Structure 1
Amino acid sequence: MKQQKIAATAVAALVLGGLVACSGSGDSDGASGGQQDSVTVLVHDSFNVPQDLIDQFEEETGYSLTTTAPGDSGVVINQLILAKDNPTADAVYGVESFSVQKAVDAGVFAPYTSDALPASGADYTLDGAVTPVDTGDVCVNVDRAWFEDNGVAEPESFEDLAEPEYSKLLVVEDPAASSPGLAFLVGTVEALGEDSYLDYWQRLLDGGTKVASGWSDAYYSDFSG
């Protein structure tokens, strides 16, 4: 029986994309070497694009499109860094602002600024390394039926989650391996401050909060809703 009644937490993340810097002679052969007639895009494992949009891209550009999804944004970042000297993709889509700096510092991305970039996005390109695409929320999932059936009020804040009656019901994701987990960690730092967030985490763990390896495990294995 699933024990956890709450999963994840809330903080906004900026979704980014970039061109992977290719190793080799410096000509326009692409990541795989030789004359290129296809484009490979590294994406997160929740990426979904309509087939008619892919067809339109291939018709307008003459390139065939392949996507590869090794995991969530954190896994994508790690793969980009590991393969930076021999990249297996031409571009990346869907990395988020909390972890992308590691890839920028590693020199993974080729400089690029889109002609269509609005002025509001200019501050988020990391000096032309990436292109801002969208924002997303990582939210607390609450099994409302369980709380209603058991006469327990739903948590409404970070502080609520650390109380004994809620911390034992909470599952979060490992911030070292999961972008939602990293977003939760960043949210606690933002809300509680750098001087207090570690004590907060200790309260969560001492109270029985479970740390899952990723979002899928937390949602499909632990979340009762």
Structure 2
Amino acid sequence: MNDKEHIARIKDSNEYSLITKNCNVSLDIHQEIIPKQFKLLPLIFDDLWERFEAVSLAGTKVLNFHPEDLLLILCVHGSKHMWERLGWICDIAELLRNSQDIDWAQLIDKARIIGCERMLLLGLFLAKTILGASLPPIVHQRIIADPETQSLGKQMYFRLFCENNSSTSGFIQEKFIVNFRMMERIENKIIHCRMMERLEAGGATIAIETIDTSRV
């Protein structure tokens, strides 16, 4: 891959992964916090910066996201990748265990404004279902009120713990449908479909045709 192709890939995917030669350390460099394909309202970095907190890492003080912001970012990231790694769910559970002062009403309201409330609830649902994380009543109520979150949670659980031999085209189709279902706003769903229609991969067309329109 030449330099021009590298730049095009970074602009398209919003991130670039670096791995050491011995594969012991990996680093993802992101241009934006929220993936472009979700077409959500952006998280303003200046706002996040004002809420940064100092934490101890290997005896050194480093800046980290405020727990509420970090929880939102982790849930969007896990949802983007269909929660394919148990470690990401462990991150959610550990963050909840070590963060007792989360303003849940404010966090849910912020997620709703951005357009990622379902992604937030999905990450919390998985942390509760798989690792027994403790959730406040307001989160339980929101999960119960959104059957799609529960359905997605069961699907992610099956993908994580049951063998999956899907072909590449099958994976593209599944990811398109899952991302579509995670979106809450009809305009985001329409934009997502149009983006997929422009792709050359035939699997995307199949995915669009198999969407249950009753979920839109």
Q: Tell whether the structures are fold-level matches, with TM greater than 0.5.
A: no
Relative to total residues, which structure has the larger helix share, 1 or 2?
2
Greater relative contact order (CA < 8 Å, ≥ 6 in sequence): 1
Structure whose CA Rg is larger = 1
Taking structure 2 as the reference length, the TM-score comes to 0.25
Taking structure 1 as the reference length, the TM-score comes to 0.24
Relative to total residues, which structure has the larger strand share, 1 or 2?
1
